[in-house]
């Protein structure tokens, strides 16, 4: 708390609300007792753009300056020096691991990498063409049936956390293989977290998968950049569902479902579909920009704009640099990248986008990298979910610790009809 407060004058009375000061100088005024002290007054903030749901020690974003830090460490340093496994440990446990802790974490992840054989039949019974995000959300929820132990003691929570972090890769790779009628490739204890996933996805008896260290590095960075992002839509869903005291699998399953939408994590798939459509229809970039600006057209420039970033998303900057590196290494020329760069160039010089602070976000270039790696477009958001899992878990753990664990239940203002009588059906007009 600071010594500052906000005064509210309402119906001739003055109310004071204390101001909270964050590590980076952010301020909020605490209205926890607003309704009670004013006799029923509540706030209204559709979309919660001006509302803080919690105090958190996990991630910090500055939307005006394009800053992103996990547990105080700038994303640029983690992308340059860390691995996804190490960053996941940092987010979940609050500090970078010692070498001994990281080795122990690796052993636990390996121990937990297999999924119960009975889950194979689950995959086979999804209707062909089911979206991988729907499958993943269902399968994560189903894990509870196989691992029903409580999640009250620290040890039980740690095992559940490591199990989820490890198994989500296996589940994602299995859904890909089974959806194509290929045999499942099992995790290998000799491979790193990211290399294991790539091998499970692409290895096969006809053509063994060649693990390229630059592709493994690109996947590490891709998942580091997605690992957490304050109280975004899907993280808020995890906290909201978790606040009812459900198990971690159910809370994460809700997060996966929330991430699926094209305005949120589904944007990476929508960007590639948008770019591919531009190529297929032979549209000019100018035509696309005009459509995106047209108030009467619901069309939006996918991968552009952000609720918090009002400047270039720092993750998009790193992702864009990585596109060039990965495509050069794999000797791929992707015409969609050329279109994306041209779209960015035109948009960033257009008053409509400038006035609204619309810049590329994490999803604008990420799909180009996934395409180059060989990930199918309908699995792009699954890749986002795997990356975001450590963040969701860290946020779930934080919201469950100590006094924060309150059931989340927003209020509303009723604007429906005034009271009226029930009319028996034969008297209705
Ligand atoms: C993610 O929250 C997070 O942290 C999310 C995320 C994470 O890591 O968890 O960063 C991941 O979800 C990134 C965002 C991915 N979504 C997209 O790329 C979809 C396209 N972008 C938009 O739909 C939009 O920008 C949102 C949803 C991301 C943010 O929208 P807001 O904050 O609700 O803003 P808004 O819709 O009210 O837009 C403000 C203005 C409007 O114009 P006016 O009414 O003022 O004239 O900007 C316009 C909008 O029409 N606008 C766009 C646009 N985004 C906003 N116009 C054209 N194209 C766009 N992409």
The 10s digit of each residue's pLDDT in 380-417 is: 999 999 999 999 999 999 998 866 678 999 999 999 99
d(CA 220, ligand 1 centre) in Å: 26
Atom 13 in ligand 1: which residue has the minimum CA distance? 264
Q: Whose CA is nearest to atom 51 of ligand 1?
A: 305
Please report the pLDDT score of residue 149 as a whole number.
82
Q: How far apart are CA 212 and CA 215, in angstroms?
A: 5
Q: Are 267 and 302 in contact (CB under 8 A)?
A: yes
The pLDDT value recorded for residue 306 is 96
Ligand 1, atom 19, residue with closest C-alpha: 263
Residue 301 C-alpha to ligand 1 middle, in angstroms? 9
pLDDT of residue 403: 66
> How far does the centroid of ligand 1 lie from the alpha carbon of residue 302, in Å?
8
Q: Which atom of ligand 1 is nearest to the CA of 49?
A: 32
Q: Which atom of ligand 1 is nearest to the CA of 230?
A: 4
Q: Give the distance (Å) from ligand 1 centre to CA of residue 256.
A: 20
Cα 138 to middle of ligand 1, angstroms: 28
Torsion from C-alpha of 193, 198, 203, 208, nearest 10 degrees: -90
Q: CA-to-CA distance for 196 and 201, rounded, in angstroms?
A: 9
Q: What is the pLDDT of the chain when averaged over all its residues?
A: 95
Q: Which residue pairs, CB below 8 angstroms and at least 24 apart, start in 74-83? A: 75/224, 75/225, 75/314, 75/315, 75/318, 76/314, 76/318, 78/224, 79/221, 79/224, 79/225, 79/318, 82/220, 82/224, 83/192, 83/193, 83/194, 83/220, 83/224
Structure token digits, residue 321: 């640099």
Spell out the domain ranges in the chain. Answer: 5-52
Q: For residue 197, what pLDDT is reported?
A: 98
**Which of the following is catalytic: 203, 313, 334, 363?**
363
Q: 307 C-alpha vs ligand 1 centroid, how far in Å?
A: 6
Closest Cα partner for 357 from 287, 307, 392?
307
Q: Within 10 Å of residue 143's Cβ, how many Cβ atoms?
A: 24
* Ligand 1 center–CA 351 separation, angstroms: 16
| Per-position b or e across 352-363, b if 16+ CB within 10 A of its CB | ebeeeebbbbbb
CATH architecture of 5-52: Single Sheet (2.20)
Question: What is the pLDDT, as a whole number, of residue 54?
Answer: 95
Site to substitute for ligand 1 among 50, 267, 306, most atoms within 8 A of C-beta: 306
Among protein residues, the one whose CA lies closest to atom 39 of ligand 1: 356
Of all protein residues, whose CA lies closest to atom 1 belonging to ligand 1?
Answer: 264
Which residues have CB under 6 Å of ligand 1?
229, 232, 263-265, 267, 292, 300-308, 356, 358, 361-363
d(CA 105, CA 89): 8
Mutate to test the pocket of ligand 1, among 49, 230, 234, 305 (most ligand atoms within 8 A of CB): 305
Residue numbers in the chain where pLDDT is lower than 50: none
Query: What does pTM read for this prediction?
Result: 0.96
Which string of DSSP letters, residue by residue, matches 280-325?
Answer: HHT--HHHHHHHHH-TT-----TTB--SS-SS--HHHHHHHHHHHH
Supply the residue whose CA is at minimum distance from atom 24 of ligand 1. Answer: 305
H-assigned helices in 50-206: 75-81, 84-93, 99-111, 118-124, 132-146, 154-179, 193-202
Q: What per-residue confidence (pLDDT) applies to 402? A: 67
Nearest residue to 137 (alpha-carbon basis) of 248, 249, 2, 49 = 249
pLDDT value for 309: 96
Annotation says 333 is catalytic: no
Q: Of 228, 306, 313, 334, which one is the catalytic site residue?
A: 306
Q: Is 306 one of the annotated active-site residues of the chain?
A: yes
């Amino acid at each position: 708390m600071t010594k500052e407060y906000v005064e509210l004058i309402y119906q001739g009375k003055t109310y004071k609300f204390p101001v909270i000061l964050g590590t980076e100088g952010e301020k909020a005024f605490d209205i926890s007792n607003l309704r009670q002290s004013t006799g029923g007054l509540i706030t209204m903030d559709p979309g919660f753009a001006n509302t803080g749901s919690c105090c958190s020690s996990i991630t910090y974003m500055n939307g005006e300056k394009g800053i992103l830090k996990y547990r105080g460490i700038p994303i640029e340093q983690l992308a340059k020096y860390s691995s996804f496994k190490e960053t996941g440990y940092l987010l979940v446990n609050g500090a970078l691991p010692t070498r001994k802790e990281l080795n122990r974490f690796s052993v636990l992840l390996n121990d937990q990498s297999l999924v119960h054989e009975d889950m194979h039949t689950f995959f086979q019974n999804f209707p062909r063409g089911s979206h991988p995000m729907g499958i993943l959300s269902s399968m994560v929820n189903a894990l509870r049936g196989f691992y029903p132990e409580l999640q009250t003691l620290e040890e039980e929570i740690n095992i559940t956390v490591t199990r989820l972090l490890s198994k989500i890769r296996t589940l994602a790779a299995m859904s890909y293989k089974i959806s194509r009628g290929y045999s499942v490739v099992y995790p290998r204890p000799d491979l790193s977290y990211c290399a294991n996933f790539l091998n499970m996805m692409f290895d096969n008896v006809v053509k063994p998968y060649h693990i390229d260290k630059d592709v493994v590095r690109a996947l590490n960075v891709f998942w580091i950049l997605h690992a957490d992002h304050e109280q975004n839509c899907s993280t808020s869903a995890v906290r909201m569902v978790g606040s009812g005291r459900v198990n971690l699998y159910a809370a994460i399953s809700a997060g996966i479902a929330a991430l699926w939408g094209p305005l949120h994590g589904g944007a990476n798939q929508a960007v590639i579909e948008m770019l591919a459509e531009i190529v297929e229809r032979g549209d000019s970039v100018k035509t696309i920009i005009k459509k995106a600006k047209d108030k009467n057209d619901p069309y939006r420039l996918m991968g552009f704009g952000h609720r918090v970033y009002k400047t270039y998303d720092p993750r998009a900057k790193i992702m864009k640099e990585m596109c060039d590196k990965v495509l050069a290494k794999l000797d791929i020329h992707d015409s969609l990248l050329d279109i994306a760069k041209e779209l960015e160039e035109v948009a960033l010089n257009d008053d409509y986008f400038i006035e609204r602070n619309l810049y590329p976000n994490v999803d604008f270039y990420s799909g180009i990298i996934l395409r180059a790696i060989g990930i199918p477009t309908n699995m792009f958001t699954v890749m986002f979910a795997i990356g975001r899992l450590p963040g969701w878990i860290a946020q779930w753990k934080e919201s469950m610790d100590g006094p924060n664990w309150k059931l989340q239940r927003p209020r509303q203002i009723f604007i429906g009809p005034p009271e009226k009588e029930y009319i028996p059906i034969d008297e209705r007009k």
